[in-house]
Structure 1
Amino acid sequence: MDAITSKAGQAPAAGARPVPMKKVLLVDDHALFSQGLAGLIRQEGLAESVVIASTVEGASDLLVRQDDFQLILLDIALQGETGLALLPRLASHREPPPVVIISSSEDEATVRAAQAAGASGFLAKSAGRSALVSMVRSVSRGERYFPGGNDPVAPGLSLTPRQMDVLLLLAQGFPNKRICQSLNLTEHTVKTHLKAIFTQLGVHNRTECVNLARARGWL
């Protein structure tokens, strides 16, 4: 069973600060981490209920059946599809909840990829309680939460979010077949995105592409 629901056991005391969110979806395939984070969210009074899914597919199914999530906490490094593959699927939802990426990779390229994919925030897994509280309260107010503020992804960046996803995986050394599997795209679509990226950068191969993208601050 892919989903686990965790609820607060006690009602807030009289005069306590109201819970920012009723229901949060946590997508992470490390059971100890996800259960620990769900417990911490409840302890800090940040949400009444946390539902855990371990895959993009499981999260998608939950979002189809339950439309009352107010926040999605999403790990990138999931088994099977990359977590970023969930973001395009949210486009079909009338009012998709904000998505905050939680990741053990804290490098700038990962943060930029999260921004380009349309995430509302980024929280490193090494962050402490205060950062978690700040993030949830910021997002509950409709604000974005990224390390160093909300600067644009990169000056002059004209890639689409999906092209940025492809570029990030390309920079990690993924072959086309693995990119297809991670993003749930056909090989033709991946090749089309790569051609568009190469054209934007004026390069002719993968190595030149990654090197120039890094030099321009896209990665």
Structure 2
Amino acid sequence: MSDGQTVHTAPVRVLVFAASSQVRASLQSLVEEHPALAFLGSAADAETLVDCLAGSVPDVIVTDIEPEASDAIKTLFELGHAPPSLVLLSDDTDSDWLLDVLPADAAAILPRNAMPAEIVMSIEAVAAGLCVLSPDTLARLLAGRRPSRQTASGEPFEALTLREIEVLAMLADGLGNKDIARRLDISDNTVKFHLSSIFGKLGATNRTEAVMLGMRHGFIMV
């Protein structure tokens, strides 16, 4: 600035999401030790995470993710609770299920043994709207982009995710919401969100129509 004053930017607000208390504590310490970051809180499950997001909205969520936790992350994005910036730590950085939960906006995928400096740099990068991906992960992501299909009315629709196909297959088997939730170890509300997404993508108005359209487009076989 012309008067010689220094411009101070606000710290990046970070929320930690991890099942392990040890991992949460480690990530919290990492965030608190860095002056450019501000620790907002941590959560061990989706319900607690939603509660945390009811207060001050973070700029970035850092999550030590497992395949079963990916459903919670995806649901939060569908609900609009989570910010469009994620730093995902996983032992399976090249797995297909990661591509399923990867948000359309800023995100980073790092191995669990990433150096603290790498995690901090990734937090700052996604907060600035960037993506941090290895060349192999980027190649898999681009290869996984599938063309849209068509609804019965001829309108294009977005392809179903692997989890949505699982839910649709259970619908075809006649399972109710509670049974689906029990089979997939997710909440009833998460099942409802998946069903809403499935209906919207297929252009279905009820469960029977969704199954019929799913069969017609080759997502399930009965």
Q: Common fold, TM-score beyond 0.5?
A: yes
1:111-155 deviation digits (Å, cap 9, x = unpaired)? 312326767232221212242133112112111222324853614
1:50-94 deviation digits (Å, cap 9, x = unpaired)? 411111100101111223x1111133338xx73432443345548
8 Å CA contact retained: 1:121, 1:145: yes
Indicate yes or no: 2:125 matched with 1:138. yes
Gaps of 5+ in 2: 1-7, 149-156, 169-178, 199-206
- TM-aligned CA distance change 1:152 to 1:29, over 3 Å: same
Cα distance in 1 for partners of 2:87, 2:167 equals: 19
Map 1:63-82 onto structure 2 (within 5 A).
Answer: 63-67=53-57, 69-77=58-66, 82=69
Counterpart position of 2:190: 184
* 140-149 or 54-63, which deviates more: 140-149
Map 1:27-176 onto structure 2 (within 5 A).
Answer: 27-67=17-57, 69-77=58-66, 82-93=69-80, 96-115=83-102, 120-148=107-135, 149=138, 151-152=141-142, 154-158=144-148, 160=158, 163-166=161-164, 176=180
* 21-30 or 103-112, which deviates more: 103-112
Gaps of 5+ in 1: 1-17, 206-219
Number of equivalences: 183
- TM-aligned CA distance change 1:73 to 1:20, over 3 Å: farther
Q: How high is the TM-score relative to the length of structure 1? A: 0.61
* 89-98 or 30-39, which deviates more: 89-98
Say which SS state the counterpart of residue 88 (structure 1) adopts.
helix
Shift of 1:23: 1.9
Task: State the identity %.
Answer: 17
Cα distance in 2 for partners of 1:118, 1:180 equals: 28
- TM-aligned CA distance change 1:77 to 1:119, over 3 Å: farther
- TM-aligned CA distance change 1:122 to 1:46, over 3 Å: farther
- TM-aligned CA distance change 1:60 to 1:162, over 3 Å: farther
Q: How high is the TM-score relative to the length of structure 2? A: 0.61
Say which SS state the counterpart of residue 131 (structure 1) adopts.
helix
